[in-house]
Amino acid sequence: MKIKTVALLRVLVAGVLGFATLEIIGHIRSPGFRDGLALPGALISTLGSMVGLYGVPSGPWAVACMFGNFLFYAGVWWALLSFAVRRLTIGSSDRGGRFGGEGGSR
């Protein structure tokens, strides 16, 4: 049960950090830099719209772009959090590990 709770918490924190990343990107004043950070969402949104940006109304494409950016940055945060959790808990159960005891010999 504890593992499922930690995994769910990691997903929720990654979602919040992904949304915060989108907010920070939205406040960047340099259009070129902001567009570069929005590129993952644009690439993801073109998968659903094969005719491109100019072939359909831009409303659904813009929503898909924002959702794609959210998925991308939440995924990046999830991967970083997973790496951090794994790094901090390596060997802590039975070998001593980083924070789990005396350190043990290998």
Compare 97 and 6 and report the one with higher pLDDT: 6
pLDDT tens digits for 42-69?
A: 888 877 666 655 666 666 778 888 999 9
pTM metric for this prediction: 0.72
Q: For the segment 76-89, what is each residue's pLDDT rounded down to a tens digit?
A: 999 999 998 888 87
Question: Domain range holding 79?
Answer: 8-89
Please state the domain count of the chain: 1
Residue 18, Cβ neighbours under 10 Å: how many? 20
Regarding predicted confidence, which is higher, 31 or 96?
31
Would residue 94 count as lying in a domain?
no
Q: Is residue 95 part of a domain?
A: no
* Amino acid at position 67, single letter: F
- On whether residue 3 sits in a domain, the answer given is no
Q: How many CB atoms within 10 Å of residue 67?
A: 14
